[in-house]
Structure 1
Amino acid sequence: MTKFLLIALCATSILAVAPKSLEAANIKRACLASDRAEATRDRCNCIQRVADQALTRSDQKTISKWFQDPHQAQELKMSRTARDDALWDRYQNFGQMAQAICS
């Protein structure tokens, strides 16, 4: 019975983590897919680590799209909603941290 409970607990833990890991690394993937010469695997890994500390998953999902279409970032920057302003502030903070840590 104890062995069964241990296996069940392990299976539950794996299933609980799996969806998160599938969604993770949006910034890293976008970074690697970009055509920037500076987008090395090591630098993109570093940027993803900073993103994990500075941004929510939702922020990362939104910001990762900006690598492909920077105009989306400009539209958000020009927006005057409190929500967009807050995301822009978090993005600016993330960018400064990534530059300081990953350069």
Structure 2
Amino acid sequence: MTLSLLALTAACGAGVNGRVAKACVDADRSAASTRLCSCVQRVADQSLNASDQALAVKFFEDPQLAQDTRQSDNTSNEAFWLRYRAFANSASRQCG
């Protein structure tokens, strides 16, 4: 799930706005798509608050952080992961 969302969001292109979209651009993937990245950002805006988006963006820089967050026993991380997973599923359905 995490890797598929990272791959999906990492395919974003230039000319987009938002934290998640900018992380896509910064990931500099060859399959960049402005349409896809903008779509994923719209879903992020609908699904995740600003602090959730900030944490999700960190996954681009540190994929291990995503794994650590997912496996964490911290209740805050567990709650975030449920929101993030719902976001990932929505983004896959709406943008994939």
Moved over 4 A (4+): none
TM-score by length of 2: 0.77
2:35 matches 1:42: yes
TM-score by length of 1: 0.72
| Structure 1 gap ranges (5+) | 1-23
Q: Deviations over 1:53-76 (max 9, x none)?
A: 000000001101101211111111
Partner Cα distance (1:25, 1:56) in 2: 12
Which structure has the greater CA radius of gyration?
1
The letter of the residue matching 2:91 is A
Partner Cα distance (1:100, 1:37) in 2: 22
Please report how far the alpha carbon of residue 38 of structure 1 lies from its aligned counterpart in structure 2 after TM superposition.
3.8
Q: Deviations over 1:21-52 (max 9, x none)?
A: xxx71101001221434441111110000000
Identity across the alignment (%):
39
Partner Cα distance (1:47, 1:37) in 2: 17
RMSD: 1.4
* Residues 100 and 64 of structure 1: CA distance in aligned 2, closer, same or farther (over 3 Å): same
Aligned residues: 80
